[in-house]
Amino acid sequence: MKKHFVTFLSPGTMVVEQTTKEISSWNTKEAISMSKDIEERHAALPYGFYFTTKKRGCSDFDSKETKRSNMCFLGGKVVTLKYLKAQNDPNDSTLISNMEINNWDRVVVNTNSWKWTQPLKANDVILTV
């Protein structure tokens, strides 16, 4: 047996809120449409999603993840470390420090509901929604 899922990620108080739903295939348009029905605590809306495929054999007790997609952000702005340093905004000092310590050259800032900032990896995609 093989099934596909989409996991939506939303800003949380201490950790990311996640909602996973079954989906017919790794269809980005269908996932974007599904995202409009997701609302987490404190009215947090998804900032992105990723797909997974799970398989289970006849003798397996539970399914196993066999494939995972890159992260798809539901909009957002790419901000580079160079840009943040040039802005010289004291409110960005913690972000700049985290980016330097972790060797992140860019992050994505999403404001679909609550402001959410996280590293933008090489294969991640920012969708126009």
Can you tell me whether residue 30 is helix, strand or coil?
helix
In the sheet where 77-80 sits, what is the strand order? 77-80, 106-110, 116-119
Classify 102 in phi/psi space as left (phi over 0), alpha (psi -120 to 50) or beta. Answer: alpha
Q: How far apart are CA 89 and CA 27, in angstroms?
A: 39
Task: Give the chain's residues under pLDDT 70.
Answer: none
pLDDT of residue 46: 97
User: In Å, how far from its chain's centre is CA 21?
Assistant: 15
